Structure 1
Amino acid sequence: MVRPYILAENTWRTVKETEYEVAVLPWGACEAHNYHLPYGTDIIEAESVAADAARQAWDHGAKITVLPVIPFGVNTGQSDVKLDMNMNPSTQLAVLKDVIDVLNRHHIYKLIILNSHGGNDFRTMIRELGLQFPKMFLCQCNWYQALDQKPYFENKDDHGGEMETSVMMHLTPDLVSPITEAGDGAAKKFRMAGIREGWAWAERRWTQVTKDTGVGDPRKATPDKGDRFFRDVTRKVSEFFVEVAKADRNDLYA
């Protein structure tokens, strides 16, 4: 069954007759996620969260179109991890500019970048492109930060841990290797206090930080935890989609 909110599934007849209020661009990454999760974890999560949140928003009257997912993210700190596919921020800026140019030309003046990868950060790009496309409302949404993980999981997840493993067990259990194959996700921290405290920053060199590419213990993950978190997080994201769709671009502040 064709989903009217998924651009790739619709024909020109449908698309040209629909007045879309907002476009959603899922953006993932292709990278190692410990020993038990597939390289496409961020891609699968981005597509799934975007689609389910858009379904709920559509059912609430928001005219959403979800664009095809961008599969490559910023993996500059993982250059020595085999086949972790890096897309530099400057390349992301060029891709994003082209996408926005199309939307702007066809009078879809709102774009939500649904981000699924911690290495991606579109804020500086949004600032720059906002000057070039003054009619556009541009924002990013990190779905994995939409809810506090504590009520759902015993161990905080940074990368390939309990949350992501549970979500993938729910979404694509056939792609998740037995949890007995997973590393413990133990990770080293910077020695510098300012970076540990969060008011200073430097990029992590991944293979110096973690022996299994994971950051976060996945061993308490279950499909039921993933189902519950996915349902709640897509509901929260869908509410944001509706807010953006209904917002007046000339009256955004209260």
Structure 2
Amino acid sequence: MRPYILAESSWKEVKTQQVDLVILPWGATEAHNYHLPYATDNIQADHIAAESAAKAWDKGGRVMVLPTVPFGVNTGQTDIRLNINMNPSTQQAVLRDIIEVLDRQGMKKLLVLNGHGGNDFKMMLRELGVAFPEMLLSCCNWFQALDKTQYFENSGDHADEMETSLMMYFAGDLVRPLSEAGSGHDKKHKVKAFREPWAWAERKWSQVTEDTGVGDPSQSDKEKGERFFNDLTDKLASFYIELCSADTDDLYE
């Protein structure tokens, strides 16, 4: 039993346990090319949250990881079979209910650990911060925490070399042979501004990619995934420890 994983904990421990930071992993249920499972984002969120929490716990960070929310925003993928969409308004309602519990019970720090590119919690947390002014509400995208070019040869953002290597490392039995994977080639938007970071329009997934992947997974391997995973969870653990000890009345210098 890991005391920093709520799903594995009992009331005997939890009723008196110090909790300085609550971590909410949030994933998605969606197709990941031909070689990765629909639960890829959730499996990654589970492993990354647990390992980073373990490292923080060992250094004195009193964190608690909630169960991963398995559904994310997939509004651009409505025609991809069994991609399960949770609208942003639904996500905000779920967040509000969770934050209300934490606030009422005196746990004043929440970090949403996001593992799906379609999720965007910043505007939700802005609004909920007004409703719960004593809460320190934060979010991070674990997939942006490190410079991926230092670990992987091919770029991408969905079922790519990074995600495939990670899955090979901690859930290799769920990864189909790379010979079955699609190329992950994606079409670029014809409107120039939408190819640049200052303008945005949602991608229509089935028009952008034939195999649902974005990024070539052909150079993926378990060792790359392990190295990335270890460095990522080290960085996240340090972040958790800082948040645990942060004085919410004295956050700026």
Q: Tell me the TM-score normalized by structure 1.
A: 0.99
Partners of 1:185 and 1:10 lie apart in 2 by 40
Q: Deviations over 1:110-159 (max 9, x none)?
A: 00000000000000000000000000000111101000001110001210
Q: Is the 8 A contact 1:25 1:112 kept in 2?
A: yes
**Could you tell me how far 1:179 is from its partner in structure 2?**
0.4
1:227 alignment partner in structure 2: 226
Partner of 1:128: 127
Matches of 1:30 and 1:238, distance apart in 2: 26
Query: Which residue of 2 is the match for residue 112 of structure 1?
Result: 111
State the 1:27 CA deviation: 0.2
Q: How much has 1:193 moved relative to structure 2?
A: 1.3
8 Å CA contact retained: 1:23, 1:110: yes
In structure 2, C-alpha distance between the alignment counterparts of 1:135 and 1:90, rounded to whole Å: 23
Q: Deviations over 1:17-67 (max 9, x none)?
A: 111001000000000000000000000001110000000000110100000
Asked if the contact 1:75/1:87 (under 8 Å) is kept, the reply is: yes
Task: Give, in whole Å, the separation in 2 of the partners of 1:63 and 1:197.
Answer: 41
**Deviation of 1:194 (Å):** 1.1
Q: Which moved more, 1:241-250 or 1:72-81?
A: 241-250
Q: Which residue of 2 aligns with 1:42?
A: 41
1:58 alignment counterpart: 57
8 Å Cα contact 1:157-1:164 kept in structure 2: no
Give the aligned partner of residue 78 of structure 1: 77
- After the TM superposition, which segments of 4 or more aligned residues of structure 1 sit over 2 Å from their partners? none
CA distance in 1, matches of 2:252, 2:178: 47
- The corresponding residue for 1:162 is 161
Matching residue of 1:205: 204
Instruction: Report what 1:218 is aligned to.
Output: 217
Q: Distance in 2 between matches of 1:27 and 1:117?
A: 7
**CA–CA distance in structure 2, aligned partners of residues 150 and 110 of structure 1:** 32
Structure 1 stretches of 5 or more lacking a match?
Answer: none
Whole-angstrom distance in 2 between the partners of 1:249 and 1:64:
16
Q: Which amino acid aligns with 1:26?
A: P
| Partner SS for 2:22 | strand
**Structure 2, unpaired ranges of 5+:** none
Q: What do residues 89-126 of structure 1 show as CA deviations (whole Å, max 9, x unaligned)?
A: 00000000000011111100000000000000000000
C-alpha contact 1:168 1:176 (8 A) present in aligned 2: yes
Count of aligned residue pairs for this structure pair? 253
CA separation in 1, counterparts of 2:152 and 2:231?
13
Q: Residue 252 of structure 1 corresponds to which residue in structure 2?
A: 251
Tell me how large the CA RMSD over aligned residues is: 0.5
Please name the residue that 1:14 is paired with. Answer: 13
One-letter identity of the residue aligned with 2:28? A
Larger deviation, residues 57-66 vs 191-200: 191-200
C-alpha distance in structure 2 between counterparts of 1:198 and 1:64, whole Å: 34
List per-residue Cα deviations over 1:214-251 (Å, max 9, x = no partner): 00000000000000000000111111111111100111
